[in-house]
Structure 1
Amino acid sequence: MKRLMGLLASVILMARTVTAQKFKWAQVPAAVKAAFAKHFPGVTAKWEKEDANYEAVFHQNGKEMSALFDANSKLSETEVAIPIAALPAAVHQYIQKNHPGKKIKEASDITITLADGIVH
């Protein structure tokens, strides 16, 4: 059930990327750059500013990914693109029932890091 809720949340969270602003590497705080390098060594990213957060968009191990860091350089979320076919049948059924005629255009597996642990 947690996984299903996480996947549904990923569909909803996709809408927020519309509000992201492109950012240049030089504009990213040094502490955020260091945190990114620690979590994803040797990876190059494109950066976006999302409210008060910094989002790195990159490819790793052949997968499209993103990582969200807060202003204190804490990793708060990672997102990995997944095939739409990988979504559980319940997600497809929910969309068909509640949003007839609409199609899922992309899907992601989102991991949110909370103060007391990690939630998928």
Structure 2
Amino acid sequence: MKYLKTIPYIIIIALTFSCNTIQAQAPKAVQSAFENKYPGENDPDWEKDSNGNYEAHFKQKGEKYRADFSPNGQWIETESSISKGDLPKAIKAVIKDKYKDETITEIEYVTSASKGTFYDVEFKRKGKNKDVEFRANGNIIN
């Protein structure tokens, strides 16, 4: 029974170790690509997503970012969360016209290797939320 009191401490130590292991598991090619893309940002938190890509979570000038890299180190995209007030007027107008009854759950500003720069607006839906990608001029790209 004395050992039951130590179980929470063992769990905390195990979780701390496993979080550090996740960060250390990013391949050298991924870490190198991150360092080249974001010089001076040498302490990201790494996660592996469901597609097998690596996500670096980091801050620049107080803003939170997530950069995605393929397992071979190719940069895919970088995202940062923004507020509805930060959306360009053209996007706000399209949302007001086409999605006025929808609830926004998240908005991200995205720079992508394949799609360029866009805004990803997530609307709440039953089951899986719906993401709509916009150019700054209000054009929908997905």
Which sections of structure 1, spanning at least 5 residues, go unmatched? 1-21
Amino acid at match of 2:71: A
Does residue 1:119 correspond to 2:116, yes or no?
yes
Tell me the number of residue pairs that the alignment of Structure 1 and Structure 2 aligns: 96
- TM-score, structure 2 as length reference: 0.57
For the aligned residue pairs, the C-alpha RMSD in angstroms reads 2.3
Q: Aligned residue for 1:42?
A: 40
Q: Give yes or no for contact 1:96–1:102 (8 Å, CA) kept in 2.
A: no
Distance 1:64 1:98 in 2: 30
Which sections of structure 2, spanning at least 5 residues, go unmatched? 1-18, 118-142
Which string of whole-angstrom CA distances, capped at 9 and with x for unpartnered residues, describes residues 65-110 of structure 1? 1111011101111112222201133433444444444332332211
Q: Aligned residue for 1:58?
A: 58
Amino acid at match of 2:25: Q
Q: Give yes or no for contact 2:80–2:109 (8 Å, CA) kept in 1.
A: yes
- TM-score, structure 1 as length reference: 0.65
